[in-house]
Structure 1
Amino acid sequence: MESIKDTNMIARFTSEMEEIHKERLKIYADIINTTTELSQSHRHFVKSAIDTCLKKCKDDEKMFETIQEFRKELENKNKTLKEKRCAISEVMSEVQEKEMEKEDIIQKIQKLKEEQTKRKELIESQNKANKGRLKNLQKARIVFQDHLGLEIRTVMDKTQLVKGEKLQFVFRNINPSDQDSAYVITMGIKENGSYQIVSSDPVLDCLPVLELRLQETNNLPAFLANVRKEFISKARS
């Protein structure tokens, strides 16, 4: 108890306690400072993290908007491409139709050329046949006109069935009682070049048969000779 009452001891204890208290305060101060620094550092970290997250969010939003714009642009381009494909398909269809029409026109032109060639050949054949008939007519004229008093006339027939230039063969010296009496047969040429009997005066019942034989043989002198015989037979009947 005496040692406790020692003033030096008390002073020394008090001093040591103050030192301890100071050290504790210093430690507490260091802890507070460290805590404050850590708190400030944490705040800075959190703020930086928040700023980074906000920036990231903004960047993501911007990227999302950009993606949406790209998507819309891609949809528009796909739509435009689809329309262009449809337009190209229509153009191709029109081109194919034009090609088919062109081919059809070429075939028609070829057909017309062939028909024109055939028509030309037919005309040449008819001209050749007509020359032969003209030759036969000339021979018949010589035989019948010079020897039998046959007269050949050119007439224009304006009837509805037969139009154009026709030939009339006028036979005389048929009726013994009237040598000048005229017996007439009128003939023409059809479009195909064959002979056509228009009429006879007087009428001969066998004329269709004689005409058919003329078309088969193309022998005009023989036909005229047969007609003369029929006229003679009719005049004497």
Structure 2
Amino acid sequence: MDIFKEDAQCQLNEKLNETRIKFLSLWENYNPAGFKQRYRESLKITEGKCLEIYEEEKQMCEKIQLTKKVIAEQKAFIEQTRLNMESVNKNFENIERQKQEVSEKIKKLKEGLLTKQELISTQKQENKAKLKELNTSAEMFKKRMGLEIRKVHGEQLQFIFKCISHKNPKQPFTFLLKISEEGNYEVTSCEPPLECMPLLQEKLKETNNFSAFLANVRKAFTTLV
């Protein structure tokens, strides 16, 4: 038992000796002035790192604000572009609609022009037929009743009747005639004047019988003698 006690005492003494040596070593290395200096240096390093981190965070905040500003500008640009596109689309739709309307108007004008050309062509044919009838009637009256026809200004024809007055067979009885745009016979003047001329014209318009019209005009002139 004594041997065991001695071994345990020896081991304890060794442990205590090691602890004393460590403590002394620590105590010898402990230097309050050096510890404060190292503390100040550590604080300075820490402060420098904190300043670096602060500057980095400050720059990061500036970058974030700049990015937000750029994003806002881009959003505004995109919105304005969208509005411009809508305006362009509306203008394009208006132009297409106006183009369609103009095309419809041109189509109607062309159709109206063709119709008018057809009417003019038909009217010309009718006028030719009327002139032919007029010439035929005039030739007949010229031979039988001394009628003379002259072409005067404004595409008008002058009809001159003679041999109406027994006292003066050469005395002229005249009237001017033209064909209107509507294709109707129209007396523009009469010498001497005949009060019944409007009625004779109306009857001519209804019957389209020019020979009868000339006969009636001559008969009316004879009543003036």
- Do both share a fold (TM > 0.5)? yes
CA displacement, residues 69-97 of structure 1 (integer Å, 9 cap, x when unaligned) = 32222112112212222322332233233
Aligned to 2:191: 201
Label 1:28 to 1:218 Cα distance change in 2 as closer, same or farther (>3 A): same
The alignment yields a C-alpha RMSD, in angstroms, of 3.5
Q: Counterpart of 1:75 in structure 2: which amino acid?
A: A
Runs of 4+ that moved beyond 4 A: 19-24, 30-36, 45-63
Question: What is the total number of aligned residue pairs between the two structures?
Answer: 206
What SS does the aligned partner of 1:234 have?
A: coil
- Alpha-carbon distance in 2 for matches of 1:62, 1:20: 57
Q: CA deviation at 1:153?
A: 1.0
Label 1:149 to 1:50 Cα distance change in 2 as closer, same or farther (>3 A): same
Q: Counterpart of 1:201 in structure 2: which amino acid?
A: E
Aligned to 1:25: 20
Deviates more, 1:57-66 or 1:69-78: 57-66
What SS does the aligned partner of 1:168 have?
A: strand
Query: Structure 1: where are the runs of 5+ without partners?
Result: 1-18, 157-163
Aligned to 2:10: none
Aligned to 1:16: none
Q: CA deviation at 1:54?
A: 6.7
- Alpha-carbon distance in 1 for matches of 2:28, 2:99: 99
Identity of aligned residues (%): 33
Alignment of 1:83 onto 2:80 = yes
Deviates more, 1:73-82 or 1:26-35: 26-35
Q: CA deviation at 1:59?
A: 5.4
Alignment of 1:225 onto 2:215 = yes
Label 1:20 to 1:208 Cα distance change in 2 as closer, same or farther (>3 A): closer
Q: Counterpart of 2:118 in structure 1: which amino acid?
A: E
- Alpha-carbon distance in 1 for matches of 2:111, 2:15: 134
Aligned to 1:189: 179
Q: CA deviation at 1:118?
A: 2.2
What SS does the aligned partner of 2:193 have?
A: coil
Label 1:204 to 1:23 Cα distance change in 2 as closer, same or farther (>3 A): closer
Q: CA deviation at 1:105?
A: 2.3
Query: Structure 2: where are the runs of 5+ without partners?
Result: 1-13
Taking the TM superposition and a 5 Å limit, the aligned residue runs for 1:1-237 are 25-26=20-21, 28-29=23-24, 60-156=57-153, 164-235=154-225
Q: Counterpart of 1:25 in structure 2: which amino acid?
A: R
Deviates more, 1:52-61 or 1:207-216: 52-61
Q: CA deviation at 1:200?
A: 1.3
